[in-house]
Amino acid sequence: MTSEIIYQGQLRTSAVHLKSGNEIITDAPVDNHGKGEAFSPTDLVATALGSCMLSIMGIYANQHNLAIEGTRASITKVMAAEPRRISEVHVHMYIPSGTLTDIERKKLENVALTCPVAKSLHPDIKQEVVFEYI
């Protein structure tokens, strides 16, 4: 097993990662009857995309001796109705340019775009990704 989730009531869950004991609380969003005091489940899906991209970029960077520490991603989730679902995830990556060559940048971008979460999301979910070198 990966995790265990308990419904706390009032549209809140508590999820525990069994190997580490780390806990995540979720709330339903305000626009769907919730308090919005924590990540919603759909927020976690969108956030997982950015986190996966950064993790895979980190693996690639470590394997190729590239410095990408400080790289960050801003995530925007867009919801659709009828049925309620994630329709788009916008990822804006801010990558310290440092000494990265154009080829290294393209390879980092490719590994990000092909991360496991990106490949696991339904093709109807638009993934808009911007890479900005700062």
- Domain range summary for the chain, segments of one domain joined by +: 3-32, 41-133
41: cis peptide before it, omega within 30°?
no
What are the strands of the beta sheet with 85-95, ordered from one edge?
72-80, 85-95, 126-133
Q: How many CA atoms lie within 13 A of 11 on its CB side?
A: 15
**Which pLDDT does position 125 carry in this prediction?**
98
Q: pTM here? A: 0.93
Mapped onto helix, strand or coil, the DSSP state of residue 31 is: helix
Domain 41-133 belongs in CATH node 3.30.300.20? yes
Would strands 23-27 and 72-80 be described as parallel, antiparallel, or unpaired? unpaired
Q: Angle at CA 58, nearest 5°, toward 54 and 64?
A: 145
Cα–Cα distance, 131 to 97 (Å, whole number):
11
Cα–Cα distance, 104 to 57 (Å, whole number):
11
DSSP string, 50-71: HHHHHHHHHHHHHHTT---TT-
Over residues 24-49, mean pLDDT: 95
**Which pLDDT does position 53 carry in this prediction?**
98
pLDDT over 90 (residue 105): yes
**Which pLDDT does position 119 carry in this prediction?**
98
pLDDT digits (tens, 9 = 90+) for 48-100: 999 999 999 999 999 999 999 999 999 999 999 999 999 999 999 999 988 89
Over residues 19-46, mean pLDDT: 95
**Which pLDDT does position 99 carry in this prediction?**
83
- Nearest in space to 64 (alpha carbons), one of 31, 96, 99: 99
Mean pLDDT, the chain, as a whole number? 96
